[in-house]
Chain A
Amino acid sequence: MQQYDLMVVGGGPGGYVAAIRAAQLGFKTALVEKQHLGGVCLNWGCIPTKSLLRGADIAHMLKEAEHFGFTFDSLSFDINKLVKHSRSVANKLSGGVAYLMQKNNIKVIDGTATVADKCRLDVNHNGTVTQYRSNHIILATGARARNLPNIEIDGDLIWGAREAMTPTTLPGSLLVIGGGAIGVEFASLYNDLGTDVTLIEAAERITPAEDAEISSLAQKSFSQRGIKVLTSTLVQAVEGAGDQAMAIINGPDGERRQKFDQVILAVGIQGNIEGLGLENLGVKTENSFLVADPYGKTNLVGLYAIGDVSGAPWLAHKASHEAIVCVEKIAGIETAEPLNKNRVPGCTYCRPQIASVGLTEAQAKGAGHNIRVGRSSLNSNGKALAINEAEGLVKTVFDANSGELLGAHMIGPEVTEQIQGFGIAQQLAATEHDLAHTIYAHPTVSESMHESVLDSLGVAIHQ
C-alpha cells in the first residue's frame, strides 16, 4: 500500500493550495483529481467567466465610444472568438497548476477517490483501484450547481453555468433564474452582448446577500440597461415549446407564461459529498456539506474538509485560505488562525461591479452594534466622472463605540480591486480614525472609500 503524509482530494483552489502548502512544510504530499487541475474556479467558474465579462466590458465601451468622439461604420461580433479566448485562459491556468504540482514535488494521482477507512483512500482510475494510506486526508471536492425540484439543467434549453459560458450562438432572449452572484453576472454579460435578458429572483431583491442599498442600486442600474428584473417571483416550471422554452412565472402580479430562447438556472450550489464513502464511516454532513471545525477537522480522525464542500461562503479565496489554515494547524504552526467569515470579501463582476466585506447595515444592527454609517456616491468622484462611470456607492459601517470597521459595501467601476483596502483595514483592526487619517491618492475611484469614512464621522469634504 502506498503511503503519503498528507493527501488532498480535489485540485481546485482549496485542494491545490493545500497540497502546495503541505509540500512547502515538508509533508510527502499527493493530490487526487478526477478531471481538471484547477477545479471549477479555473476551468468552469471564476476565470472563464471573467474572460467572457471582459468581452462584455468591451461591448459596453464600444457603445459608449461615440460619447468620446468615435464612430464606427460597421461593427461585428463573433461569440465563438470570445468563448475561445475564455477557454484558452482556463487551459493555460490549469496547465499552470500542473506545473506548480510538479515544482513542489506533489504526486498528482488521476482518478476518483473514496475514503475506504480511517486514514485510507482508494483511488479508482479507469476501473483500477489503488490503495493509499495517509495520516491526514483533506477533502476539497467542491460543489456544483443545484437543480430545482421541477427545473433541471438539461444542457439544451436549460443551461447551467458550464453551458452558459460556452455558447455557440447568442440567444435572442434569455431567462436567468436566480439573482445571486452567478445569475447576476450572466444577466449582465448577455445583456451587454445584445441578448434580451429577464432576471428572476425569489427573494425581494437581487444579490440578496449584499447590503440592501447596494442591491437596490444594482437593480436600478440593471433596469436602466434594459434587463427585466422580477423579484419576489418564482418560476414554477419550464416547458419545451418548439425551439424555445416556455416559462411559467408566478409573481406579485399573478401567473403568466413567457417564451425564451434560452434559460440559465443559477439557484445555488450543493456540496460534492457523494461517492466518497463517507456515509459508511459516519462522517457528519449537513445539507449536502461536510461538517468541520474551524480548522477543517471533521469528526473522522485524520479527515479534513475545506472549501465549497465544507459550506458557505462558496468562494475560491475562502477555500484557499481554509487550505492554508488547515495544513498549518496539522503542522502545529501556532499562528494558524481559523477563518473569520466576516473577513471574507465577496465580489460580483456584473456591471457595475459589486464588492463587499463584513456585515451589512442590517446585519450589524441585528448583531446589536451601535453603528455609524458612511456613504459616498461616485457622482462626486472626479476619476469616476472622467471615465464616465460615475454610477456607484461606497458604504461603510462602523461600530460607533470601538470604531471597528464592521462592513464595507461597494458598487461601481473596478470596486472588486478596491475592496482589499477595507479588508486590510479590518485585519489590522483599524478604526474609522485610522482610515480617515490615511492619505488616498488623487484622482482615483477609491478616493470615495475615504469620503465614505469621512461621512461616517460627519465630516465628508466633497458632498
Chain B
Amino acid sequence: MNNNIKPIIMPKWGMEMSEGEINTWHVKVGDHIIVETDLVDVETAKIINTVAASDSGVVRAIVAEPGETHIVGALLGVIAPAEVSDEEIKTFINSFSGSNQVDVLEEAPSMTDIVNEPAVAAEQQPVKTDILSAGEDDSHVSASPVARRLAADYGVNLNNISGTGRHGRVSKRDLEAAVTAAGGRLIGTNNAVPSREKQGDDSHVKATPVARRLAEEMGINLLECRVSGNRGRVCKADVEAVAAMRNKVPTQTAVSAAPTSSSSTPIAISGMRKTIAERLQASKQTAPHFRVQIDAELDNLLATRKQINDANTEVKISVNDFIIKACASALTRVPAVNVQFDGERVTQFAEADISVAVAIKDGLITPIIPGANRKGLEVISHEMRDLATRAKLNRLKPEEFQGGSFCISNLGMYGIKQFDAIINPPQSAILAVGSGERRAVVKNGELAVATVVSLTLSSDHRIIDGAVAAEFMSVLKGFLEQPATMLI
C-alpha cells in the first residue's frame, strides 16, 4: 500500500465516545491542506469538536457526508499527495473499509489530532518520552516559543533538555534531538509503530476472565467500566452496565421512511439527543422511581439573597445557587442519598458533586459543581455562571459534566409550579425545582402570604428507602427556610 496515503478517520474523544456524527466539512476534495488544517466538525453525544489534519497533502476523497453517523475509527476521507493516482486512492478506500476494526483504531490516531482537547491530544501523541516528561514547573526555562509549544505537544518537561540556542535557550532542534534520543518519534513523521495506548489499552485493567471476554465480544473497553467485582476487578455486571448504556441501534439508522406529507418533517436525531434518549429510557426502565414532594418557604432566603447581593457588586447569587448549596448541605447530613448505583454495588460519596441541568440548544447537559458542600455561595455562583456559559458554547470538558453524585433540575423560570424529574444514572436521586411564587399559607391558624417553592425528589427506590428520601427533603426544607443554618 502507498505509504503516502493517509486516512481521515473518526477520532475517539474520551472513553465514552463510540461514534460521531459528521457535522460540517471545512475542506473539499482537491483542497491542498497543511498540518493543523481544520478538516471536519464531528458531533458526539457530548460535544462538537474539530478534527484537524496531522498530515499535509491534498484531500483526495471524502467518504462520510454531513448527517451521517460513523463509529470510531471509521474512514471519513483520504489525504494524499497529488501525484498518487485515483486508482490507488480507490484501492485504499476499499481495503480500508474491509480492514479489521481494531487495526483501524490502532492506526488511526496518528492521522488525526484534536483541536481544543489538550488532554486527549497528549494521550495520542505519537512519541514515547516518559523519561523526558518528569520534572518541576518548567515555565522559567529559557526556550524559543516554537520549542515550548512542541514540548507541550510532546509532553516534555523543558527542565530535561539542555539548550544550545542563543543565550542557552532551548531550541526546536534541541527538543527534537532529545525526543529522538529518548526513542520517541517526531510529530509529523509517520514511520513508527502504532501505539496501543491510543485506543486506551485495557490489558492492564484488572478484570474477571468472564468480564474480559464479554468486553472483547461487545467491543467495550475495560477502562470504561466501573470496578465492582471482588479483589478490585471489573466483573461481568460492570461490563453489562456499560453495554446497557450503549446505543444498540444500528449506527446508520435512516430516519424511518414515514409517509412524507406537507404537515410533517423528518428530523435527524443528533448524537446528544440519542444519548439523552438512551439514558432516560434506561433510567426509567431500571430504576423504580419513588417520589416525595415538599413545599419550602423562601422569604428568609430571598431576604438573605438580597442582603448579600446588595452588599457585593461582584456577585449575583441566584435562588438556584442557594438550592445547590442547600442540597450539598443536606447531602452531607443525609449521605444515604449521595450515592451512585450500577445495579450491583452502591457507592456513597463524601463530597457532594452536584450536577445541574442546563438547557442548551437542541438538548440538555448537566455540568457539575464538585465538592459543593465545601464551597460558599459566592464560589458556587461564579462556578455555575461559568459552567452555564460554557455549556451553551459546547465548551465543557468531559470531566465537567460526567459523574456527579446528585442532580438538580430547575424549571422555575418557566413558571412551572411542580414537576417530576427522571434520575440521571448512575446517580440515584434528582431534585425537581418549581417556581417560587406567592401562595396562601396557614401560619398559626391564620391565613398568610409566603413565597413558596415546590420541590420533588425522584429517588431510585432500590437503594433509597422512602424514609431516607423524606428525611433528606425535610433537612433540605430546613436549610432553605433558615439559610443561616447552612453556615454552620
Contact = CB atoms under 8 A, between A and B. Distances in A.
B145 A428 contact: yes
Nearest to A120: B316
Contacts of B167: 402-403, 431
12 contacts: A5-B389, A25-B395, A118-B313, A135-B385, A300-B314, A301-B315, A330-B389, A331-B395, A332-B393, A403-B166, A429-B145, A431-B166
Interface residues of B, number: 19
A379 interface: no
Nearest to B388: A135
Interface in A1-48: 5, 25-28
Interface in B160-176: 166-167, 169
B133 interface: no
Interface in A327-341: 330-333
B345 interface: no
B159 interface: no
Interface in A104-134: 118-119
A220 interface: no
Nearest to A28: B392
A26 B395 CA distance: 10
Interface string B381-412: 00001101110111100000000000000000
Contacts of A118: 309, 313, 316
B390 A299 contact: no
B313 A136 contact: no
B149 to A, nearest CB: 11
Contacts of A149: none
A299 B312 CA distance: 9
Interface string A70-109: 0000000000000000000000000000000000000000
| Interchain residue pairs A-B with the least CB separation, the first 6 | A26-B393, A118-B316, A332-B390, A301-B316, A300-B313, A433-B166
B144 interface: yes
Given A283-B313, A403-B167, 16 more contacts: A5-B389, A25-B393, A26-B394, A118-B309, A118-B316, A135-B385, A281-B313, A299-B314, A300-B314, A331-B393, A331-B395, A332-B393, A333-B395, A431-B167, A431-B169, A433-B166
Interface centre among B313, B315, B385, B386 (most CB of A within 10 A): B313
Contact of A301 (B145, B314, B395): B314
Give the residue among B169, B314, B315 with the most A Cβ atoms within 10 A: B314
Nearest to A22: B393
A302 B313 contact: no
B165 to A, nearest CB: 9
A5 B316 contact: no
A211 to B, nearest CB: 25
Contact of A331 (B144, B145, B315, B390): B390
B367 to A, nearest CB: 11
A275 interface: no
A252 interface: no
A135 B389 contact: yes
A282 B313 CA distance: 7
A417 interface: no
A403 B392 CA distance: 45
A290 B11 CA distance: 46
Contact of B166 (A283, A299, A434): A434
A331 B169 CA distance: 34
A119 B316 contact: yes
- Chain A interface mostly: loop
B314 A26 contact: no
Interface in B112-159: 144-145
Given A27-B393, A332-B390, A429 B144 contact: yes
Contacts of A331: 389-390, 393, 395
A26 B389 CA distance: 10
Given A118-B316, A135-B389, A283-B313, A332 B395 contact: yes
B173 to A, nearest CB: 14
Given A27-B392, A429-B145, A332 B386 contact: yes
Contacts of A282: 313
Contacts of B388: 135
A433 B165 CA distance: 10
Nearest to A428: B145
Of A27, A300, A332, A429, most buried by chain B (CB within 10 Å of CB) is A332
Nearest to A6: B389
A135 B384 CA distance: 11
Contacts of A5: 389, 392
Contacts of A434: 166
A301 B313 contact: yes
A331 B392 CA distance: 10
Contacts of B393: 25-27, 331-332
Interface string A433-445: 1100000000000
A160 to B, nearest CB: 34
Nearest to B314: A301
A332 B389 CA distance: 9
Nearest to A335: B116
Nearest to A118: B316
Contacts of A431: 166-167, 169
Contacts of A403: 166-167
A301 B166 CA distance: 46
Contacts of B166: 403, 431, 433-434
A275 B363 CA distance: 40
A428 B393 CA distance: 30
Interface in A408-433: 428-429, 431, 433
A26, A283, A301, A431 interface centre (most CB from chain B within 10 Å) = A301
Interface in B69-96: none
B170 to A, nearest CB: 12
Contacts of B314: 299-301
A320 B315 CA distance: 27
Nearest to B309: A118
A136 B390 CA distance: 12
Nearest to A401: B167
A402 B144 CA distance: 13
Interface in B346-404: 385-386, 388-390, 392-395
B431 to A, nearest CB: 23
Nearest to B315: A301
Contacts of B385: 135, 301-302
Contacts of B394: 26
Contacts of A300: 313-314
A119 B316 CA distance: 9
B231 to A, nearest CB: 40
